[in-house]
Chain A
Amino acid sequence: MGERYHIAVVGAGPAGLSAAGRAAEYDREAGATSPSYVLLEGFSIFAKTIQKYQKGKHVMDEPGFLALRSPVPFVAGRREEILGAWQDSIDSGLNVRYDSDVTGISGSRGQFVLQLQSGDEIEAEHVVLSIGTQGNPRSLGVKNDAESDFVRYTLDDPEDFKKETIAVVGAGDAAIENAIALSDYNNVYIINRRNEFSRAKDGNLNAVLAAINDKSRPFHCRYEAGVAGVELPASPGEMGAIVLNTPAGEERLACHRIIARLGTIPPRSFVESCGIEISSPSADAVPDVDRHYQSNVPGLYVIGALGGYPLIKQAMNQGYDVIEFIHGKNTKPADYPLLQDQFSGLPYVMDAEDVLELYQQRIPMFRRMNPLAFRELIIESRILVSLPPADLAHTEQKGERSTVFIPAGEPVYRNGEFSTTFYTLVEGEVKLQLEQDGPWHTLKPGQFFGEMSLISGRPRQGDAVVSEDAILIETPRRIMVKLMNSNDEVRKGIDRIFIVRALQAAFRPDLPLAELSAVAGQVETCRFNAGQALFSEGEEGDCLHLIRSGTVVLSRGSANMVVAQHHSGDLVGQMALMGAPLRRDTAVAAVRTETIKVKRAEFLTLVNSQPEHVATLQGRLSSLLEKTNAMASQPEAARSIGFLMEQGLGEATNALVIDESLCVGCDNCERACAETHGGLTRLNRAAGPSFANLHVPISCRHCELPHCMKDCPPDAIRRSADGEVFITDSCIGCGNCETNCPYNAIKLSYAAPPKPGLLSWLLFGRGSGPGQPQSFTPAAADKERGKKAVKCDACMGQAGGPACVRACPTGAAMRLSPEQFVALVEAR
């Protein structure tokens, strides 16, 4: 007979510590002499994942709008401070039992039995699983892949190994970072299952490609290589081997060590062995739990990362709440007030939890989502309610996170506006155009829109007008991208509608939705990296491409003779289906591009259903041919466009280009930039390449899908409706955007001291005068605040447009969008 507790918490991470802390409070209130709970930890330390963070790492306390509800403290800070505070909490009397790896849980509410590795058994009435997922690396999946001295799934310090041959398996950020660090002292092979490093952050992507190409670095890559086997070393210190399945056959790589960084997976088999169901077959799937975090086994609760909540603060709040639920308190979760506030403007009185449930049922795509994931989606979104203009005038907008009221009968977005949020219609109607002045489509509750800009990053195509008393959920791009990456069903659902609508916009077919969906199911989505060809001149073609995202350039003769450039929503290669099959141009992706490939059969189904539109398509094709022909007859102009595309301007929306035949090098543009932006210039005129009198200085181009916005921890980089990408004051100076920007347009810098007044400069020589260079020593306070990311905001909100252009005395500086390039190179 083992020990018996009211509650057993398994896993001493943030969630488990918080749960134990709350349980300890209950014990204190009840005056219990022995603890009614136990916190079981498989290792000899608590919070193993965070203990493994590198020294001094800054741990964030996202999401900022959520309050912490836990007796165990947690605020953003250095790893050591946080761990120290938790150690204090444990020392103040938490009943933690270390080295108690739970190997099995059986029984039911009131009589659970937990088997420990040591053979001990612990009985508990309720069990809380807070074991996380980080501690469970995905294994190689071959014989001998168990963690050993030879095969490792973590790397604490790369400098532990020197002068070895090491195989690093994986293509994610962890694998790349480890492999590069190891290659300082070792001969490293990075084993990539695919033929590219598409999962990595751009910074790591560039670093790994540079390392592979660096002849002086002992760094090698095996692409398209699967791991077929592991040969352990005969005795410690000797070499073992990794056997690879490559396109060229089997390869045996002798090595001293294998480091596998294949990500982590929920410990599915253990969870299922406890009787918990995981409905999705996906390896990343998490158990389904109810609103009280209770799994399908009554009395068995799942919280934290294992329940799909990887953020520390959320996990800790759940730890607190789950103890409340077990004690029979129907406590509202910590985020309940947030939801209530969001729903406060709804036209009906209903509990926020019920509204949440109702909405999830209303939206087919979200119906099968984990309710907690849906909850998170709603919390990160805005709830929009449309009101007749008369009512709107006397309805007061409450807080920033409260229901947003919008005028009925007016667009929620307009054609040409830059916004990338995603809308889901819950009630009412929305009239939607798929292109400017195109036909109107009516959306019903449960449907969504805005997926075009979400996927392509291009400005909105057509207006979306909302009816009276409609309710919409507006979700930021970042949240949708996260959801699409983690939830296949949502990704496929959005993809399907995207394709249907893209086809509708391009061909205006007069087909019933079912038939259209069937066509959409037949077309193929293709991805191209920058520089990859969609098709080549001289080939026979049997398909056309509809661009989903990115830019495609058409060249004729040689690669730098660019005769046309196409953006998302445009057709490429339609000549093959509407004229002769021989390709007259080579189509190359200028930046990473996705297209929808439409073959002849589907094309005929689409166009035959609406013969009137064929004339429009033909008209567009002939005007396109006219343009490409004009370009092809001006090789100089075509080469200039080719140069601009090479500089990555294909993905620009607003780029600074300097006409060198007019530029006198006065640098008034740089000075104007500095003077209008706190003394720091955001452009470097002299730097950057030139061709045929066109100079592309280093300056932000406000990309379609800005690279810098990708991993901004505080979400400080935003895009305005007019397209300017700018950095808000919430920048923490982490430098991710600087690394991610392929064009060096972002710099980290201390704030510049304010300029002296004109008179004090003129008469007393203080500081620098108007337009004088900005070398400065930062003030102590600015130094304390640290460097912040600085980039061009296209002089957003300043009257008269970009200062660099306004200050150019000779008219050499221009800010252009790619559509204007043709006019630029032709106007000579």
Chain B
Amino acid sequence: MRESLLGWQQYRYLKWGLVLLLLSVALYVTQGGSNAAQPPNGGTWQGYVLGTLGALLIVWLSLLGVRKRSYKSTAGTVQGWASAHVYLGTVLLVVATLHCALQFGFNVHTLAYVLMCLVVVSGFYGLYAYMHLPGRLASIQSGSGEDGRLDELARIDARVRDTSERCDANLQSLMISALELTRVGGSAWQQLLARDRSRVMVPGSDTQKAQAVANVEQEVVVSHLAGRIPDARKQSEAEVLNELLGLFGRRQVLLHQLRREVQLRGLMKIWLYFHIPLTMGLLVALVVHILTVFIYW
């Protein structure tokens, strides 16, 4: 019942892909030889067939974007298309390589080939992301989603504010600054790295000015609170500190999960920002390649 992209319809398109692969290799080995007019290359009739096949594959593969948005279409399911996209896209790598017979140079033809390779490789990454990251995301999310976590975080922050009013001014400003200098998200790069850039203002003393220090994973605050509890002079103070420690402990986990969630979502999306523009570039290079071959050959 639950079929992934790869296993769709008992690996139907893996079988298609393999057949296509064998046919292409068979076609390739029929060229060249000791008494042939020319070595294997894109210019033999076999080379032309392979080239035409590759060009058709590229056009068809890029049509997935159109099919995905044709919501009323009854031409198969999007999952079927995606499954075929993966296998035929992989085969394209071989077909194109056989077509050019490893003749490379600094020209538009090799540019098209390189772009195609980049598209396929970014696709491989995408496949990896689609196959593995959703499960990891789900295991983080089990129970509550991102909204639930943000709500909980807001509730915790409100309680930290309330509770820290019962502390001395120094500790209160430390707590509030820890809340205010907490960082989640940021630029695309920061989202993908998921490095914690939170900081906290450590209150100054007579000799020293207050300064902001890194508060990675809220560790500074947590260890500060934990360190102060044994020193507490009054029972009520210890109680407040304990409460804050509990709140920051939960905060630590929530923030970590949020960052990881953002990161995973980003990793699932980022590749499309390469895959699609590279495909556009490839289509242009392909047209130029075909035209130049016909004009100058």
Contact = CB atoms under 8 A, between A and B. Distances in A.
Interface residues of B, number: 31
B72 A675 contact: yes
B69 A771 contact: yes
A810 B4 contact: yes
A693 B135 CA distance: 7
B8 interface: yes
B292 interface: no
B72 A662 contact: no
A809 B268 CA distance: 13
Interface string B121-139: 0000000011001110110
Contacts of B135: 660-661, 693
Interface string A633-672: 0000000000000000000000000011111110010011
B68 interface: yes
A691 interface: yes
A693 B8 CA distance: 19
A810 B138 contact: no
A676 interface: yes
A275 B194 CA distance: 87
A798 interface: yes
Interface in B104-161: 129-130, 133-135, 137-138, 141-143, 145, 147
A808 interface: yes
Interface string A804-820: 01111111101000001
A660 B5 contact: no
B75 to A, nearest CB: 9
Contact of B78 (A664, A668, A690, A693): A668
A692 B79 CA distance: 23
A781 interface: no
* Interface footprint category on A: 35 or more
Interface string B1-26: 11111001000000000000000000
A686 B142 CA distance: 13
A691 B145 contact: no
B236 interface: no
A800 interface: yes
A823 interface: yes
A131 B277 CA distance: 78
B74 A809 contact: no
Contacts of A445: none
B142 A691 contact: yes
Given A662-B2, A806-B78, A812 B71 contact: no
Interface in A772-828: 798-800, 803, 805-812, 814, 820, 823-824, 827-828
A676 B71 contact: yes
B103 interface: no
Given A675-B72, A823-B1, A827-B1, A664 B268 contact: yes
A770 interface: yes
A231 B133 CA distance: 70
A770 B65 CA distance: 11
Given A665-B268, A807-B78, A808-B79, A690 B72 contact: no
A824 B2 contact: yes
B256 interface: no
A811 B81 CA distance: 11
Nearest to B72: A676
Most buried by B among A661, A798, A805: A661
Contacts of A809: 5, 68, 78-79, 81-82
Interface in B43-85: 68-72, 74, 77-79, 81-82
Contacts of B143: 690
B197 interface: no
B194 to A, nearest CB: 17
B134 A812 contact: yes
Interface in A662-714: 662-665, 668, 671-672, 675-676, 686, 690-693, 695
Nearest to A673: B71
Contacts of B265: 665
A757 to B, nearest CB: 14
A810 B79 contact: yes
Contacts of B71: 671-672, 675-676, 770-771, 803, 807
Nearest to A677: B71
Contacts of B2: 659, 662, 811, 814, 824, 827-828
A690 B1 contact: no
A282 B141 CA distance: 57
A496 B5 CA distance: 53
Given A798-B72, A803-B72, A823-B1, 11 more contacts: A660-B135, A661-B134, A675-B71, A690-B138, A771-B69, A806-B78, A809-B78, A811-B8, A812-B134, A814-B1, A828-B2
Interface of A: 659-665, 668, 671-672, 675-676, 686, 690-693, 695, 770-771, 798-800, 803, 805-812, 814, 820, 823-824, 827-828
Interface of B: 1-5, 8, 68-72, 74, 77-79, 81-82, 129-130, 133-135, 137-138, 141-143, 145, 147, 265, 268
18 contacts: A660-B135, A660-B137, A660-B138, A660-B141, A662-B2, A662-B134, A668-B68, A668-B78, A686-B147, A695-B138, A798-B72, A807-B71, A807-B78, A809-B79, A811-B3, A811-B8, A811-B79, A828-B2
| A-B pairs, 7 with minimum CB distance | A660-B138, A675-B71, A661-B135, A800-B74, A770-B69, A672-B71, A811-B79
